[in-house]
Amino acid sequence: MIVLVTGGARSGKSSFAESWCIKHSDSGSGLYIATAQAFDEEMKERIQHHRGQREGTGFKWTTLEEPLRLPELLSTSGQAGSSSSVVLVDCLTLWLSNVLLSDEEENGPREESRTESSIRRLVEAVSAYSGQLVLVTNEVGSGIVPEYKLGRQYRDLAGRLNQSIAAIADQVFLVTAGIPIELKSREYRL
């Protein structure tokens, strides 16, 4: 089962995703794949706080930090996935920014096609995943148009990534003000 959880910043999407995993895990444990990178003290504290909150649930999380090689990790772990295990990825838009900025640092400004290739590999890995996989992402295109080219590229790529994952997901939840709404069952088809 593939589940996508989306929403704005501080909407409650991560808490909902964690609760979904706890409710749907037969084993009482899960793998938490964190894509954030701690570049400053505030982010280190934020990561520690979230880790402490997860530990307080009584659910046994194994945390794995993977900021860049998410498609490869999911391809490997998805082959061994089972209905009793659950994997939570938090979050896809952080992974996307990591990939986009890493490539820019390494290769300089470039076309979107290399990042789009990374997105395609991720979508393929998610599509082939055989266990329970919950993916958290952000809705970043609901605000103003970014002033800079990189910001516009990121917004557009995030929108395409979210649409691609939503298309293959079994359930898609939008979380606003802590309230989750399942979208796929309400989807209007032309």
The C-alpha angle 10, 12, 16, rounded to 5 degrees, equals 155
Q: Which of 13, 14, 50, 172 is catalytic?
A: 50
Q: What are phi and psi of 14, to 5 degrees?
A: -65, -45
User: Is 49 considered catalytic here?
Assistant: no
d(CA 169, CA 4): 6
Q: Give the number of C-alpha atoms closer than 13 A to the C-alpha of residue 164, restricted to the C-beta side.
A: 19
Q: Where are the alpha helices (DSSP H) in the chain?
A: 13-24, 41-55, 70-79, 92-107, 113-128, 149-168
Rg for the chain, CA atoms, rounded: 16
Enumerate the active-site residues. Answer: 50
